[in-house]
A and B are shown apart, each in its own frame.
Chain A
Amino acid sequence: MKFNREFFHRFGIIFVLGILITALSVSTESFGTLSNLTNVARQVSINGILAVGVTFVLLTAGVDLSLGSVVALSGVVCATFAHPGQYPVLVPILLGIATGGLCGCFNGLLVTRGGVAPFIVTLGMMTVARGLALIFSDGRPVANMSPGLTNLAGDVAGVPIAVLCFALVALAASVFLKNFRLGRHIYAVGGNENAARVAGISVTRVKLFAYTLCGLLTGLAGVVLAARITTGQPNAGMAYELDAIAAVVIGGTSLAGGVGTILGTILGVLLIGVINNGLDLLMVSSYYQAVIKGLIIVGAVWLDRRQARS
């Protein structure tokens, strides 16, 4: 990769992130410490997995508003099958992921075969999944998870398992989008659906794939979250879709589809994570935090778009 104009154009976000990290390292004693950087990595991993998933959907010019609710539903399903001595630890994990995949697949079917706008379909799924999570758990947090599963919140050789999951998912997604035919078809469909159809690409198949994959990753995020909070919480994950979509958009993915990279998404996720962590370390009152966070997000995207227009 050459550090030419194109590089700067694409990753202007790196500058904002760099400035933030420098400012935080100078102004606080604890930001640059290994333990805090591990914290940041651990704290961004759930949003990171969600953001990678929703990148696929946004690339097809769709949107998925059901992420937060599906996280809760997957977490509840996972926790229900994770009581000690019940099933091998892989069963709740796979069931949690499958639950997410199923929700994503439904979204995809309604968008492609049903012809309903993604905004509406996933808005519906947002409510349905939340309701199912409450039904499935009887409105109460599902506790008593086996240590095998809650250990997923732990570390391997000093690296949190959640971070490893995020890294693997991001790497695989990036390679897939660049080097696989289906990955490139996603860009084609998002860029110009009619042209893609004329070129012989099955738009239905590509979109269905994007929504299902997003669902599977949302399920994974639900499992990771359940392990972290040691329960399946029917009211967990409120508004998580907003942070995930914000991260993707900050990372340069166009809401109109067809443009964007996983690397950009990772940078967006890191930016949001560093802001959250840094404002806590700086002891900024939570009321101001919300305002500052919003300004930085809009500022970063404004910068990016200005750059793109010029």
Chain B
Amino acid sequence: MRPVPRFQVRPYLWTATLVLAALGLGGCKKSEPRQAGEIFIGYSSRDMSAEYTAKLSEAIVAQGKARNVRLVLVDAQADAQKQISQTENFISQKVDVIILNPCEFEASSPAVERAKAAKIPVVNVNSVTKATPDAYVGSNDEEAGVMAMEAIAQKLNGKGNVLMIHGIMGQSAQLQRDAGAHRVLAKYPQLKLLDQQTAGWDRAKAMALTENWLQAHRGNFQAIFAQNDEMAMGALLALERAGAKKEVFVIGVDAIAQALTAVKEGRLDATVFQDAVGQGHGAVDLAIKIAKKEPFEKDVLIPFQVVTRQNVDQFLAK
């Protein structure tokens, strides 16, 4: 045993000050008590570090302000476990409605079930869960897969080798975009899926994957379908660096700002526009309707559109 040191008070005071300052910094902003009749919405975002989800969240927060409701945004950082915890926290805060941007089809389901057990309505936005929420605002992701693969088929005249880059396996967007793509592939027997791998929605991983594909199959593939734009940008960068872009048609999904600019510059061939602002505003409007106990639609579908160099300007304006 070491000798027992003298107890000092000062460091504790310092830390106490630090902790209180930290809490004050975050706390004083919005934690005033709830006013009667004020609508209180909790929103759990899948992952704020991905451009599309960040854009969606921005739209949701902006619409919350515009409609004058109290809206809390939390970030699940792509961890379904965290998302369930956040939902539990919303339940003890007694929010009126929860907007959930699910991390994963199965693993985020308990979040929906917990909220329903606590009689708090849930609106899923952008992705679906196995458990049925009270309402869904999003786009039919299968349609995006169909549109992208159809664009490839047209470009290649129904003949050639295609590579597909998947998002995080098991997420509803990945499963449905995959299903849509396969529906089109089944229609064109001479359009072959040469290989398919996941890059987890991540640009750097998609870039590495494409570099490896160039090593293995260069000259033997004519198109890449990336299930989101982040990965399409990664594939594009790898192709450009290897001087192989001219040989390969690249299409992504989401129409994030960087992808639109790349389409405008003639670097990226196409993307499928997913309406983040439409989804975000739709989700908040629906949540408010539910909170006010007004009649509401259970499924609000926002359509996709293919963006190419011809029509990119109208999307850049949005």
Contacts and interface: CB of A to CB of B under 8 A. Distances in A.
Contact of A39 (B25, B81, B85): B85
A77 to B, nearest CB: 16
Interface residues of A, number: 64
Nearest to B131: A230
Interface in B1-17: 4-8, 11-12, 14-16
A177 interface: no
At the interface, is chain A mostly helix, strand, loop or mixed?
A: helix
Contacts of A23: 19-20, 23
Contacts of A309: 5
Given A282-B26, A303-B11, A225 B168 contact: no
B222 interface: no
Interface string B75-88: 10111110011101
Nearest to A292: B22
Contacts of A279: 26
A181 interface: no
A281 B19 contact: no
Interface in B86-102: 86, 88-89, 91-94
A8 B7 contact: yes
A194 interface: no
Contact of A230 (B23, B25, B72, B109): B109
Interface stretch (A57-65, A120-128, A137-145, A198-206): A137-145
Given A19-B16, A35-B91, A307-B5, A141 B106 contact: yes
A224 to B, nearest CB: 10
B156 interface: no
A161 interface: no
Given A30-B93, A233-B80, A292 B26 contact: yes
A140 B145 CA distance: 19
Contacts of A19: 15-16, 19-20
A300 B79 CA distance: 26
Contacts of B108: 229
B244 interface: no
B94 A30 contact: yes
Contacts of A153: 110
A153 B5 CA distance: 44
Contact of A35 (B8, B23, B85, B92): B92
B16 A231 contact: no
Interface in A140-173: 140-141, 143, 153
Contacts of B94: 30
Contacts of A140: 169-170
Contacts of B164: none
B208 interface: no
A8 B198 CA distance: 52
Given A9-B5, A12-B12, A307-B5, A277 B84 contact: no
Contacts, number: 163
A281 B110 CA distance: 20
B106 A231 contact: yes
Contacts of A6: 4
A300 B11 CA distance: 10
B75 to A, nearest CB: 3
A230 B110 contact: yes
A293 to B, nearest CB: 9
A39 B11 contact: no
B33 interface: yes
Which of B8, B73, B94, B106: most chain A Cβ within 10 A?
B106
Given A5-B7, A16-B15, A228 B81 contact: yes
Contacts of B75: 286-287, 289
A230 B4 contact: no
B31 interface: yes
Contacts of B72: 283
Nearest to A17: B19
Contacts of A33: 92
A225 B92 contact: no
B107 interface: yes
Nearest to A44: B85
Contacts of A29: 33-34, 93
B84 A229 contact: yes
Contacts of B26: 279, 282-285, 288-289, 292
A29 B104 CA distance: 31
B27 interface: yes
B93 A303 contact: no
Which of A141, A225, A308: most chain B Cβ within 10 A?
A141
Interface in A229-262: 229-231, 233-236, 238
Interface of B: 4-8, 11-12, 14-16, 18-20, 22-23, 25-27, 29-31, 33-34, 45, 48, 72-75, 77-81, 84-86, 88-89, 91-94, 104-110, 130, 168-170, 198, 200
14 contacts: A4-B4, A16-B19, A43-B88, A139-B169, A236-B80, A238-B78, A280-B86, A282-B26, A283-B31, A284-B26, A289-B26, A299-B18, A303-B12, A307-B5
Interface of A: 4-6, 8-9, 12, 15-16, 19-20, 23-24, 27-30, 33, 35-36, 39, 42-43, 46, 139-141, 143, 153, 225, 228-231, 233-236, 238, 276-289, 292, 295-296, 299-300, 302-303, 306-310
The 8 closest A-B pairs by CB, nearest first: A284-B26, A286-B75, A36-B92, A229-B107, A141-B170, A231-B106, A5-B7, A39-B88
